[in-house]
Amino acid sequence: MTKPDFVYVTYIATTPEKVWQALVDPDVMRKYWCGLNADCPGNVNLSDWRPGSRWEHQRLDDARTVNIVGKVVESTPPRRLVFTWARPNDAEDESKHSRVAFDIEPHSDGLVRLTVTHEDLERDPQMLAGISGGWPKVLSNLKTLLETGRALPGSPSAN
């Protein structure tokens, strides 16, 4: 077993069902995905979230630019979501795909432990650098939204 390239763990005062909804519902997602980037028009991940289905990470600009694509590997609501992650130009070359897993576990006293593991990035240092800065912002904003009902200042839904 190889060491994952990126792991982020956070504890959120919510339910596993609400975390799951935030991960798969575009209306919730557009509220938190950009984190602290005020220039971002928002982003959503679109799929039916069934194993084998395609998903797309779309930027909510006029062109609906697709930045990342992949395939749903595992979907076990509200506990685990796994999908591959690639640039659109690399969609057909699975050797260039990385893999993201969201593990959602009830913790204690109304807390949920969310663990995001993004693996197989050793072939793409630029992607590793991007997600290493991006995931903490996205997940911090997700936590804030679920706990307060508001996105962090500077995120698309806060403007």
Determine the CATH number of domain 6-149: 3.30.530.20
Tell me the three state secondary structure of residue 92: coil
pLDDT surpasses 70 at 3:
no
Q: How far apart are CA 152 and CA 143, in angstroms?
A: 10
pLDDT surpasses 90 at 153:
no
What torsion do the CA atoms of 25, 28, 33, 36 make, to the nearest 10 degrees?
Answer: -170
Taking only the tens place, the pLDDT of each residue in 35-69 is 555 566 678 899 999 999 999 999 887 888 899 99
The answer to whether residues 98 and 84 touch, using CB atoms and an 8 Å cutoff, is: yes
pLDDT surpasses 50 at 158:
no
107-134 average pLDDT score: 91
pLDDT surpasses 70 at 1:
no
List the domain boundaries for the chain: 6-149
Name the residue with higher pLDDT: 41 or 15.
15
Structure tokens at 142: 């997700």
pLDDT surpasses 70 at 111:
yes
